[in-house]
Structure 1
Amino acid sequence: MASTTSGDVLPSGGRIFTSVPDVFFIPEFVFGGLVWILVASTRVVPENPLGWVMFVSVFCFVGTTLWFFIFLCGANQSSIWPSLDVGFHFLAVVFFLSASVDLAYITYLNGLLILVPEQLKNYRLDIAAVVMSYVATLLYFLHAIFSAIRWKSA
């Protein structure tokens, strides 16, 4: 039976760039950051659902950044880290999926009210944010699945 306290349960240092679930860190940064940027660059109407989208994108961006540096520095070698890895990425999937649905619905409603070309520009930015949000959701989902497989095999 494999011990979860051994040093090869979770990769650390440069090995995170070659292990299957951890290669998703960089794309999660990129697409999560794009959601944050695209939503922040448009006129926020209505505020409440898009506020949730901003919270989720900032929370997941900061959380993934901290997670990445913990893995990069090698501070993830305790037996609790594989389950924390699965838990964080599952939470990120649930958050991002709810934010993606909210963003898609608000974008759809805003598309029904396009009257001037400036609104069309915001609508196109919102469409791009919806696409990036669903891609980020998929990346976090894949990371959660592969982390769960790694956790169960350890």
Structure 2
Amino acid sequence: MAATTAQSMGTLPSGLGICTTAPDIFYLPELVFGGLVWILVASNHVEPHNPLGWVMFVSVFCFVMTFLWMILFAAGCHKSSSGWAAADFVYHGLAVLFYLSAGVDLAYITMLSKATLLFDVRIYRIYIAAVVFAFATTLLYFIHAILSAIRWKHF
């Protein structure tokens, strides 16, 4: 019988194992893309305040929580329990909803800024980049949530 290095879907990784398992490999790209949304929106004057304030909240909240979640998994605090697998799915599902709403808000504000010429072209291009990264981050969180649901199902 050949030895395998693949981890069973019924366990949660710890240590450097989070860099090699299916859903957990998305932690770093989520941090990078989410951080880019945060930086791009924060690099300009936040106007109008309400929708872009929501975008800033989502990007900062998800960045901090994903970083903490990654540290907890790397430290092995989960002890490979099914409750942590469920919490992983719930958190990433919530992050998908947050980022989807933030991306739609940001796209709407970007379209308004083009129509009203409220912003200069540089700010408009920065907001376009932020919209692209917001939806890319939404996709990463969505894939992570689906794979976390599959892992939770196998517990």
Aligned to 1:129: 130
Partners of 1:18 and 1:29 in 2: CA distance:
16
2:52 aligns with one of 50, 53, 59: 50
Aligned to 1:60: 62
Aligned to 1:40: 42
- How many residues align? The count is 145
* Segments of 4+ moved more than 6 angstroms: none
SS at match of 1:112: helix
Partners of 2:121 and 2:116 in 1: CA distance:
10
The one-letter amino acid of 1:127's match is: I
TM-score, normalisation: structure 2: 0.91
Aligned to 1:104: 107
TM-score, normalisation: structure 1: 0.91
Indicate the percent of aligned positions where both proteins have the same amino acid: 60
Aligned to 2:142: 141
Aligned to 2:93: 90
The one-letter amino acid of 2:44's match is: T
Partners of 2:100 and 2:78 in 1: CA distance:
27
Aligned to 1:31: 33
Structure 1: where are the runs of 5+ without partners? 1-7
Partners of 1:49 and 1:119 in 2: CA distance:
19
Q: Is this contact kept in 1: 2:82–2:152, CA < 8 A?
A: no
SS at match of 2:68: helix
Instruction: Tell me by how many angstroms 1:38 deviates.
Output: 0.2
SS at match of 1:150: helix
Instruction: Tell me by how many angstroms 1:102 deviates.
Output: 0.3
Instruction: State yes or no: 1:119 paired with 2:135.
Output: no
Superimposed CA distance per residue, residues 96-125 of structure 1 (whole angstroms, 9 cap, x where no aligned partner): 00000000000000011227xx71000000
Q: Is this contact kept in 2: 1:97–1:137, CA < 8 A?
A: yes
Instruction: Tell me by how many angstroms 1:87 deviates.
Output: 0.4
Structure 2: where are the runs of 5+ without partners? 1-9
Aligned to 1:79: 82
SS at match of 2:149: helix
